[in-house]
Protein backbone atom coordinates (compact mmCIF):
# COMPACT_ATOMS: atom_id res chain seq x y z
CA UNK A 1 0.00 0.00 0.00
CA UNK A 2 1.26 3.46 -0.93
CA UNK A 3 1.06 6.42 1.47
CA UNK A 4 1.65 10.13 1.07
CA UNK A 5 3.11 11.98 4.05
CA UNK A 6 2.63 15.76 3.94
CA UNK A 7 4.74 17.39 6.64
CA UNK A 8 7.10 20.38 6.50
CA UNK A 9 9.02 19.62 9.70
CA UNK A 10 12.02 17.56 8.48
CA UNK A 11 12.66 15.52 11.62
CA UNK A 12 9.04 14.45 12.08
CA UNK A 13 8.73 13.78 8.37
CA UNK A 14 11.70 11.43 8.43
CA UNK A 15 10.43 9.69 11.55
CA UNK A 16 7.07 9.10 9.91
CA UNK A 17 8.66 7.84 6.71
CA UNK A 18 10.90 5.34 8.50
CA UNK A 19 8.15 4.06 10.80
CA UNK A 20 5.76 3.53 7.89
CA UNK A 21 8.39 1.86 5.73
CA UNK A 22 9.18 -0.52 8.58
CA UNK A 23 5.51 -1.55 8.44
CA UNK A 24 5.83 -2.39 4.76
CA UNK A 25 4.26 0.73 3.26
CA UNK A 26 5.55 2.56 0.21
CA UNK A 27 6.01 6.18 1.31
CA UNK A 28 6.09 9.41 -0.71
CA UNK A 29 6.82 12.80 0.81
CA UNK A 30 5.55 16.32 0.18
CA UNK A 31 6.85 19.23 2.27
CA UNK A 32 4.47 21.97 1.11
CA UNK A 33 0.82 22.29 0.23
CA UNK A 34 1.23 22.96 -3.48
CA UNK A 35 3.27 19.80 -4.04
CA UNK A 36 0.88 17.81 -1.90
CA UNK A 37 -2.17 18.97 -3.85
CA UNK A 38 -0.56 18.05 -7.17
CA UNK A 39 0.78 14.72 -5.89
CA UNK A 40 -2.56 13.61 -4.48
CA UNK A 41 -4.32 14.44 -7.74
CA UNK A 42 -1.81 12.74 -10.04
CA UNK A 43 -0.44 9.71 -8.16
CA UNK A 44 -1.99 6.44 -7.01
CA UNK A 45 -2.33 6.93 -3.25
CA UNK A 46 -3.94 4.51 -0.79
CA UNK A 47 -3.94 6.96 2.14
CA UNK A 48 -2.43 10.29 3.20
CA UNK A 49 -1.15 11.77 6.43
CA UNK A 50 -1.65 15.51 6.19
CA UNK A 51 -0.31 18.25 8.43
CA UNK A 52 -2.53 21.32 8.39
CA UNK A 53 0.13 23.99 8.95
CA UNK A 54 1.98 23.92 5.62
CA UNK A 55 3.89 26.48 3.54
CA UNK A 56 2.52 27.69 0.17
CA UNK A 57 -0.95 26.16 0.71
CA UNK A 58 -2.57 25.16 4.00
CA UNK A 59 -3.66 21.61 4.70
CA UNK A 60 -7.39 22.32 4.68
CA UNK A 61 -7.10 23.80 1.18
CA UNK A 62 -5.10 20.77 0.07
CA UNK A 63 -7.75 18.44 1.43
CA UNK A 64 -10.58 20.38 -0.20
CA UNK A 65 -8.67 20.32 -3.48
CA UNK A 66 -8.28 16.55 -3.35
CA UNK A 67 -11.95 16.02 -2.61
CA UNK A 68 -13.01 18.50 -5.31
CA UNK A 69 -10.94 16.42 -7.73
CA UNK A 70 -12.94 13.33 -6.64
CA UNK A 71 -9.98 11.76 -4.85
CA UNK A 72 -11.43 9.45 -2.23
CA UNK A 73 -8.32 7.97 -0.56
CA UNK A 74 -8.52 8.22 3.25
CA UNK A 75 -6.79 11.15 4.93
CA UNK A 76 -5.53 11.44 8.50
CA UNK A 77 -4.88 15.04 9.54
CA UNK A 78 -2.25 16.11 12.05
CA UNK A 79 -3.47 18.89 14.31
CA UNK A 80 -2.13 20.96 17.18
CA UNK A 81 -3.10 19.80 20.66
CA UNK A 82 -6.45 21.10 21.92
CA UNK A 83 -7.18 22.96 18.67
CA UNK A 84 -10.70 21.63 18.29
CA UNK A 85 -11.55 24.04 15.48
CA UNK A 86 -8.86 22.48 13.27
CA UNK A 87 -10.27 19.04 13.93
CA UNK A 88 -13.78 20.15 13.01
CA UNK A 89 -12.57 21.95 9.88
CA UNK A 90 -10.59 18.90 8.81
CA UNK A 91 -13.46 16.46 9.27
CA UNK A 92 -15.89 18.81 7.51
CA UNK A 93 -13.45 19.12 4.60
CA UNK A 94 -13.31 15.38 4.06
CA UNK A 95 -10.74 13.96 6.49
CA UNK A 96 -11.32 10.43 7.73
CA UNK A 97 -9.48 10.72 11.04
CA UNK A 98 -7.18 13.00 13.00
CA UNK A 99 -4.38 12.74 15.51
CA UNK A 100 -2.99 15.51 17.71
CA UNK A 101 0.68 16.41 18.09
CA UNK A 102 2.65 15.15 19.89
CA UNK A 103 1.54 11.58 19.34
CA UNK A 104 2.76 8.04 19.86
CA UNK A 105 3.87 6.45 16.60
CA UNK A 106 2.06 3.21 17.48
CA UNK A 107 -1.24 5.10 17.62
CA UNK A 108 -0.65 6.71 14.24
CA UNK A 109 0.20 3.34 12.68
CA UNK A 110 -2.98 1.86 14.12
CA UNK A 111 -5.03 4.71 12.68
CA UNK A 112 -3.41 4.23 9.27
CA UNK A 113 -4.31 0.55 9.31
CA UNK A 114 -7.84 1.42 10.36
CA UNK A 115 -8.59 3.97 7.63
CA UNK A 116 -7.13 1.71 4.93
CA UNK A 117 -9.20 -1.23 6.21
CA UNK A 118 -12.37 0.82 6.16
CA UNK A 119 -11.67 2.25 2.71
CA UNK A 120 -11.31 -1.25 1.26
CA UNK A 121 -14.30 -2.70 3.10
CA UNK A 122 -12.51 -4.70 5.81
CA UNK A 123 -13.64 -4.46 9.42
CA UNK A 124 -10.88 -6.54 11.00
CA UNK A 125 -7.10 -6.14 11.23
CA UNK A 126 -6.82 -9.71 9.97
CA UNK A 127 -7.79 -10.49 6.37
CA UNK A 128 -8.47 -14.16 5.62
CA UNK A 129 -9.07 -15.64 2.17
CA UNK A 130 -9.31 -19.40 1.62
CA UNK A 131 -7.00 -20.24 4.50
CA UNK A 132 -4.56 -17.46 3.62
CA UNK A 133 -4.29 -14.91 6.43
CA UNK A 134 -2.69 -11.47 6.52
CA UNK A 135 -2.29 -9.86 9.95
CA UNK A 136 -2.10 -6.13 9.20
CA UNK A 137 -0.65 -5.25 12.59
CA UNK A 138 2.32 -7.63 12.33
CA UNK A 139 2.51 -8.08 8.53
CA UNK A 140 2.51 -11.82 9.18
CA UNK A 141 1.20 -13.96 6.35
CA UNK A 142 0.16 -17.54 7.06
CA UNK A 143 -1.52 -20.37 5.22
CA UNK A 144 -3.62 -22.72 7.34
CA UNK A 145 -1.72 -21.46 10.38
CA UNK A 146 1.76 -21.88 8.91
CA UNK A 147 3.85 -18.75 8.38
CA UNK A 148 4.81 -17.90 4.79
CA UNK A 149 8.07 -16.03 4.33
CA UNK A 150 7.79 -13.25 1.75
CA UNK A 151 10.13 -10.58 0.44
CA UNK A 152 9.09 -6.95 0.94
CA UNK A 153 7.82 -6.63 -2.63
CA UNK A 154 5.97 -9.94 -2.49
CA UNK A 155 4.30 -8.77 0.73
CA UNK A 156 3.33 -5.42 -0.78
CA UNK A 157 1.82 -7.11 -3.82
CA UNK A 158 -0.06 -9.75 -1.86
CA UNK A 159 -1.32 -7.16 0.63
CA UNK A 160 -2.76 -5.03 -2.15
CA UNK A 161 -4.46 -8.01 -3.77
CA UNK A 162 -5.88 -9.17 -0.43
CA UNK A 163 -7.24 -5.69 0.27
CA UNK A 164 -9.05 -5.88 -3.11
CA UNK A 165 -10.25 -9.50 -3.45
CA UNK A 166 -12.16 -10.62 -6.56
CA UNK A 167 -11.15 -7.47 -8.45
CA UNK A 168 -9.12 -7.60 -11.64
CA UNK A 169 -6.11 -5.33 -11.24
CA UNK A 170 -3.81 -4.52 -14.14
CA UNK A 171 -0.03 -4.56 -13.93
CA UNK A 172 0.27 -0.78 -14.20
CA UNK A 173 -1.99 -0.24 -11.20
CA UNK A 174 -0.10 -2.82 -9.17
CA UNK A 175 3.26 -1.22 -9.97
CA UNK A 176 1.90 2.21 -9.00
CA UNK A 177 1.04 0.89 -5.56
CA UNK A 178 4.29 -1.04 -5.11
CA UNK A 179 6.78 1.71 -5.85
CA UNK A 180 7.33 5.23 -4.56
CA UNK A 181 7.45 8.21 -6.92
CA UNK A 182 11.25 8.25 -7.13
CA UNK A 183 11.54 4.50 -7.82
CA UNK A 184 11.61 2.99 -11.30
CA UNK A 185 8.16 1.53 -12.01
CA UNK A 186 8.64 -1.53 -14.19
CA UNK A 187 5.31 -3.27 -14.65
CA UNK A 188 7.11 -6.28 -16.15
CA UNK A 189 8.55 -7.15 -12.74
CA UNK A 190 4.99 -7.69 -11.51
CA UNK A 191 4.97 -10.93 -13.50
CA UNK A 192 8.07 -12.06 -11.61
CA UNK A 193 6.53 -11.31 -8.21
CA UNK A 194 3.28 -13.03 -9.19
CA UNK A 195 5.20 -16.13 -10.26
CA UNK A 196 7.08 -16.19 -6.94
CA UNK A 197 3.87 -15.79 -4.94
CA UNK A 198 2.15 -18.58 -6.83
CA UNK A 199 4.89 -20.99 -5.75
CA UNK A 200 4.06 -20.18 -2.11
CA UNK A 201 0.26 -20.05 -2.36
CA UNK A 202 -2.51 -22.52 -3.23
CA UNK A 203 -2.97 -23.16 -6.94
CA UNK A 204 -5.55 -20.91 -8.53
CA UNK A 205 -5.66 -18.37 -5.73
CA UNK A 206 -4.12 -15.69 -7.96
CA UNK A 207 -5.78 -15.84 -11.35
CA UNK A 208 -4.47 -14.30 -14.57
CA UNK A 209 -7.23 -12.58 -16.52
CA UNK A 210 -5.74 -12.51 -19.99
CA UNK A 211 -5.18 -9.03 -21.33
CA UNK A 212 -6.53 -7.38 -18.17
CA UNK A 213 -4.44 -8.30 -15.14
CA UNK A 214 -4.66 -10.42 -12.01
CA UNK A 215 -7.38 -11.34 -9.55
CA UNK A 216 -7.13 -12.86 -6.09
CA UNK A 217 -10.12 -15.18 -5.80
CA UNK A 218 -12.16 -15.33 -2.62
CA UNK A 219 -14.78 -18.00 -3.09
CA UNK A 220 -15.62 -18.26 0.58
| Tens of pLDDT, residues 156-165 | 999 999 999 9
What is the spatial distance between Cα 152 and Cα 2, in angstroms, rounded to a whole number? 13
| Domains, in order of start, for the chain | 2-119 (3.40.50.2300), 126-216 (1.10.10.10)
Alpha helix (H) ranges present in 120-214?
152-163, 171-178, 188-200
Cβ–Cβ under 8 Å, residues 32 and 55: yes
What is the gyration radius of the CA atoms in the chain, in angstroms? 18
Dist. CA 164–CA 151, nearest whole Å: 20
Rounded to two decimals, what is the model's pTM? Answer: 0.87
Give residue 68's Cα distance to chain centre.
21
pLDDT string in tens for the chain (220-residue length): 899 999 999 999 999 999 999 998 999 999 999 999 999 999 999 999 999 999 999 999 999 999 999 999 999 999 886 778 888 988 999 999 999 988 999 999 999 999 998 888 887 889 999 889 999 888 899 998 899 999 989 999 999 999 999 999 999 899 988 888 877 777 678 999 999 999 999 888 999 999 899 999 887 5
Note the pLDDT tens digit of each residue in 107-163. 999 999 999 988 888 878 899 998 899 998 888 999 988 999 999 899 999 999 999
Residues whose CB falls within 8 Å of the CB of residue 44, separated by 6 or more in sequence, listed in order = 2, 173, 176, 177
State how far the alpha carbon of 100 is from the alpha carbons of 13, 31, 44, 108, 128, in Å. 15, 19, 26, 10, 33
Amino acid sequence: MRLLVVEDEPTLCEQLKLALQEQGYVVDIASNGEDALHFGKEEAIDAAILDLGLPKLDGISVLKGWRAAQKTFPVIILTARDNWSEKVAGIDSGADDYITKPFHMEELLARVRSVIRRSTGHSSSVISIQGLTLDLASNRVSLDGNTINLTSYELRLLSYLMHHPNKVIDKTTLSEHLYAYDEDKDSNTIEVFIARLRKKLPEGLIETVRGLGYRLNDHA
